[in-house]
Amino acid sequence: MSFENPKGLWMLLGIPVLIFIHLVKSKHEDQPVSSTYLWKLAERFMKQVLPMQRLKRFLVFLFQLLAVAGTALIVAKPVIYSGNSIKYIAVLDASASMLTADEKGETRFDRALEEVRKLTKKINNGHTLSVMYASDDVYYLIQDSSSISDVGVILDNVSCSKGGCDIEAAVALAQETADRYPDTEVVLFTDAECTDMHNIEVVYVGDDVWNAAVLSLSGEEKNDLVEFTGSVISTGIDSMLPVGLEVDGQVLDVQLVECTADVPAEVRFSLDANRYGTYSKASIFLDIEDGLRDDNSYSLCVENPYHWKIMLIGNNPRFLRSALESVPHVTLRTEYKVPADLSETGFLMFIFDGIYPEEYPADAPVVIFGDGNLPEGITAYDPVDEPAKLRKSEQNASPLHKDLVLDSTYIRRYTPIKGNALWDSVLQCGEDTVAVSRKSSDGTATTVFSFDVHDTNLPLQSDLSVLMRNVVKYSLPWMLEENDASVGEELRISLVPYEDTAFLILPDGTRQDLTMEQASTVFTPSDIGIYRVAEKSEEKMIYKDFFVHIPISESSVQKLDGITVDRSAGDMWGRDDETAPKAATKLSVWIAAGALLIILAEWGLSCREEL
């Protein structure tokens, strides 16, 4: 026997309280009085009645004790199991597509909840139900419950997410239960089209409601025009979609876009750059009535500009200067000799191209091109004057490698170098390392390239601009790299130099302070709309707006195939008219009936004693 609500057994503490009351209860005492013959007769009568009174008092106490124990057992809900209890796991797809609504406004998520309620009504006689919430995060809403009311409260208060559905994580979590309990049944409530789902029963809650979506938006300035390019899609059927452009709150244009079913279509808008080149926010939207409204618009935000002051020092730095001028957030100054006191220049980063100071700045990022005056911890070997192909280091993945191609990049002269354990290899020629980087405990970065850019064909390739962009971003982190993101996507927010605090303004206008560990943090948005990340110091505040949308995959029909749960109990019992096999007998009703009889008996004895 076990208990569905073991906490009810705490009521058994009433038994010692009842015993204490009976122990301290006042008793009659004999008092000497003058007697007559009548008193003697009364005394003889009382001696005959006294044993029966003691028995009645004992029975009253026993019935009171049994009443307390019975009440505790009723609350604890005892159950006797017969050994064939089944654990049902309802996996509830909570992805954004489940918010698709029909003409009556009922969403797929609403239908899924109703189906789970139907399943709940069949959970009797010792079987249990767990409800799993499957979105970008997967977790149980309730576990191993046989209480219809408890599950009902959970279902009444749950809402659908606007992210994706990690079905693999959900199945893995269900598998943990199936590994421990072979009699486990998994039921998936979803709008995805499922095939070949082994040992998983699928309850399909999808429909044929039409949906259209805006998938992307970008903007750039060309030939005195601001051009916006977006993509839209119509699911299931061909259609003509009315697509509008809104800039800073003003609708400027609407186009009809012909869409083939399930194939993205491109849409373009052009505006006068002299008039609209300084916009702060642009959006394209669909002016339609479809099943899912959360994917009917897409926004593009222009960030509040902030700039890093970088000093480039070299005899002939034109190639590096050209590459750095294409890097966002950079205010560049070129010097042809090393200033007397670098710390007093007010620059945040220094790049040395063939000219080296006697001492490098200790509190600012440094980039070195060439093999002169190498920092501590680097050993230089004899120069190599033979042409060699430049490639990314295979020893470790570096943030400096991002988007680098280096398919046909060659160096005609370089100096092999080797750093100690504090330095990471970045670039190689053959087996020789020619670029290393490190970050100190305070976040200050140092990068060394042991070759001259003029001795390579990098200036003829886009890789030089990409490399310098990576170097600047590695040395001076951007506040936020992304301009848009999906719900559930992890975003790294970095604290920029000279800023003290950071916070977010959510789409609903509320503020969320950010705790920075090692000058950065990870934020995962859970709602759609425009967010603002802001960082401030005593002197100024900088910010960046970014748009969060539902995952693009949620705008179309999802497909699941070949997912299985091992060691399942076989075929799921029916949910329409059939009932589950009996696995337990609940004793609460019988105990309640017995307790009622005991209370009535105790009451009758008490009344008889008073008479």
Q: What is the pLDDT of residues 453-500, one digit of tens each?
A: 999 999 999 999 999 999 998 888 778 888 899 999 999 898 877 678
Tokens of 398: 């570096």
Backbone phi and psi for residue 494, each to the nearest 5 degrees, phi listed first: -110, 145
Higher pLDDT, 556 or 537: 556
Q: Encode pLDDT of 512-523 as tens digits.
A: 999 887 778 999
Higher pLDDT, 50 or 517: 517
C-alpha 516/C-alpha 109 separation (Å) is 37
Residue type, 187: V
Question: Does pLDDT of 79 surpass 90?
Answer: no
Question: Does pLDDT of 78 surpass 50?
Answer: yes
Query: What is the per-residue pLDDT for 132?
Result: 96
Cα 69 to chain centroid distance, Å, stands at: 47
The secondary structure of 457-474, three-state, reads: CHHHCCHHHHHHHHHHHH
Alpha helices in 504-581 (DSSP H): none
Question: Does pLDDT of 189 surpass 70?
Answer: yes
Domains 87-208 and 308-475 share a fold: yes
Q: For residues 217-239, give the mean pLDDT.
A: 92
Query: What is the per-residue pLDDT for 7?
Result: 76
Residue 418: closest CA among 395, 400, 391:
395
Neighbour tally for 359: CB within 10 Å = 8
C-alpha 167/C-alpha 91 separation (Å) is 9
Question: Does pLDDT of 536 surpass 90?
Answer: no
C-alpha angle 279/283/285, rounded to 5°?
Answer: 155
Fold of 484-552: Immunoglobulin-like (2.60.40)
Query: What is the per-residue pLDDT for 574?
Result: 43
Percentage of the chain modeled with pLDDT above 90: 49
Among the residue ranges 288-292, 394-398, 515-519, the one predicted with the least confidence is: 515-519
Q: Is 6 left (phi over 0), alpha (psi -120 to 50) or beta?
A: alpha
Tokens of 425: 């290899």
With cut-offs at 50, 70 and 90, classify the pLDDT of residue 122: confident
Domain boundaries, the chain: 2-82+587-610, 87-208, 225-290, 308-475, 484-552
Residue 497: closest CA among 441, 440, 443:
443
Q: Encode pLDDT of 136-162 as tens digits.
A: 999 999 998 888 889 999 999 999 999
Q: Encode pLDDT of 568-597 as tens digits.
A: 444 444 434 344 454 455 556 566 666 666
Measuring CA to CA, how many Å separate 561 from each of 137, 193, 199?
Answer: 21, 8, 13
Question: Does pLDDT of 43 surpass 80?
Answer: no
Q: Calculate the average pLDDT of the chain.
A: 84
DSSP letter string over 9-45? GGGGGHHHHHHHHHHHS-----------HHHHHHHHH
Decide: 504 and 487 in contact? Cβ < 8 Å.
Answer: no
Superfamily of domain 308-475: Class I glutamine amidotransferase (GATase) domain (3.40.50.880)
CB contact set of 48 (below 8 Å; sequence gap of 6+): none
Alpha helices in 158-240 (DSSP H): 167-180
Query: What is the per-residue pLDDT for 566?
Result: 64
User: What residue has token string 């008193």?
Assistant: 39
Measuring CA to CA, how many Å separate 481 from each of 328, 494, 545, 546?
Answer: 11, 9, 11, 10
What CATH number matches the domain at 87-208, 3.40.50.10490, 1.20.120.450, 3.90.105.10, 3.40.50.410? 3.40.50.410
Question: Does pLDDT of 26 surpass 60?
Answer: no
Q: Please, what sign has the CA dihedral across residues 148, 136, 191, 185?
A: negative
Among the residue ranges 66-70, 124-128, 509-513, 552-556, the one predicted with the least confidence is: 124-128
With cut-offs at 50, 70 and 90, classify the pLDDT of residue 54: low
C-alpha 145/C-alpha 152 separation (Å) is 11
With cut-offs at 50, 70 and 90, classify the pLDDT of residue 342: confident
Tokens of 6: 């073991």
Percentage of the chain modeled with pLDDT above 70: 81
Q: Please, what sign has the CA dihedral across residues 514, 517, 519, 523?
A: negative
Residue 267 β-bridge partners:
230
C-alpha 171/C-alpha 161 separation (Å) is 19
Query: What is the per-residue pLDDT for 63?
Result: 67
Q: How many CA atoms lie within 13 A of 32 on its CB side?
A: 0
Neighbour tally for 520: CB within 10 Å = 15
State which H helix or E strand residue 418 sits in.
strand 417-419
- Strand ranges for 20-135 from DSSP E: 78-81, 87-93, 128-134
